[in-house]
């Protein structure tokens, strides 16, 4: 009988214990957990602040070392395009923009602001001078060749890219576009969209010219230009889409229209592409 009572009491104790566990830790336990959570949160914030402060100290030290480096190699940075590009890449990695202004330490050390301001003016002038012959589209390679003169510091494609990016902010249609594998500077009063650049890329491999039928074709077409050999495959567009893109490009002078073709179809010539191919052949 005593054994039965002992079993009953043990069972009741187990039930009570389980009920207490299901009800949670109680008010005291909750308060204790909140204190622990608050302490962990404060410690995490403290560690995060220490990390940020440490990172800022490292960047500050690196900026100082960068200024010392700039003083030491000032002439090489100004005169050597490749050295200048590497230096600017190093600056960008720590958030320093030596081109931002002609004022301040970078302007005093290197005159970067003046250098790129002057280069920007020369790029604008060159684009205006050549617009009648290329329609406002000129390759970086051609621009470097025209702008590198003995009386001025040597410049690179990277210098032109950086300058054009800043010119774009001023408006006026300046920007960088990729035509096939060629980077070009555009100075046209409208923004080239994807249709325009795809047409230009196709014309580029076709010797600098293209027709609406060639663009619309889904089949291989023999290239009939002395500048290029082989065949191309059109974009498979509707003809009206191809004609619309070609009209926009010819309207603003990027393309010249040849209406005296053997098949009586308009052929659109892009002087910026054709002259570039011709220049490469002569080189």
pLDDT in single tens digits along all 283 residues of the chain:
545 544 444 545 455 455 545 554 555 556 666 666 676 677 667 667 767 776 667 767 767 777 777 778 777 877 788 888 887 787 777 666 665 545 555 555 555 667 777 888 899 889 888 888 888 889 999 999 999 888 777 888 998 998 888 887 776 678 898 887 788 998 887 778 889 989 999 988 888 889 999 999 887 766 655 445 566 778 889 999 999 999 998 887 888 999 988 888 999 999 888 765 545 544 5
- The answer to pTM > 0.75 is no
How crowded is residue 204: how many other Cβ atoms within 10 Å of its Cβ?
24
Instruction: Compute CA 86 distance to the chain's CA centroid, rounded to the nearest angstrom.
Output: 17
How crowded is residue 113: how many other Cβ atoms within 10 Å of its Cβ?
18
Query: What sign has the CA pseudo-torsion 244, 246, 252, 258?
Result: negative
Secondary structure of residue 267 in the 3-state scheme: strand
Query: What is the per-residue pLDDT for 165?
Result: 84
172, 174, 177: which is closest to 197 by C-alpha? Answer: 177
Give the strand order in the sheet containing 182-187. 137-139, 182-187, 174-179
Using DSSP, how many helices (H) and how many strands (E) does the chain show?
12, 8
């Amino acid at each position: 009988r005593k054994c039965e009572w002992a079993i009953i009491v043990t069972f009741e104790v187990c039930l009570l214990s389980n009920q207490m566990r299901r009800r949670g830790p109680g008010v005291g336990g909750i308060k204790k957990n909140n204190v622990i959570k608050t302490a962990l949160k404060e410690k995490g914030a403290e560690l995060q602040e220490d990390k940020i402060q440490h990172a800022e100290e490292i960047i500050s030290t690196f900026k100082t070392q960068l200024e010392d480096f700039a003083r030491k190699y000032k002439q090489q940075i100004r005169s050597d395009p490749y050295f200048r590009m590497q230096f600017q890449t190093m600056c960008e990695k720590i958030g320093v923009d030596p081109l931002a202004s002609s004022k301040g330490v970078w302007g005093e050390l290197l005159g970067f602001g003046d250098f790129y301001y002057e280069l920007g003016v020369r790029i604008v002038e060159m684009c205006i001078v050549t617009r009648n012959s290329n329609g406002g589209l000129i390759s970086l390679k051609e621009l470097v060749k025209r702008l590198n003169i003995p009386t001025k510091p040597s410049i690179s494609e990277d210098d032109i890219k950086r300058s054009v990016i800043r010119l774009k902010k001023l408006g006026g249609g300046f920007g960088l576009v990729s035509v096939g594998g060629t980077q070009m500077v555009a100075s046209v009063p409208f923004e080239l969209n994807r249709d325009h650049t795809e047409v230009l890329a196709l014309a580029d491999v076709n010797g600098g010219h293209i027709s609406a039928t060639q663009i619309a074709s889904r089949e291989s077409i023999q290239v009939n230009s002395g500048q290029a050999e082989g065949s191309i495959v059109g974009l498979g567009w509707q003809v009206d889409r191809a004609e619309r893109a070609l009209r926009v490009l010819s309207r603003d002078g990027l393309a010249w229209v040849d209406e005296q073709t053997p098949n009586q179809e308009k052929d659109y010539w892009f002087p910026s592409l054709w002259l570039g191919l011709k220049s490469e052949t002569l080189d």
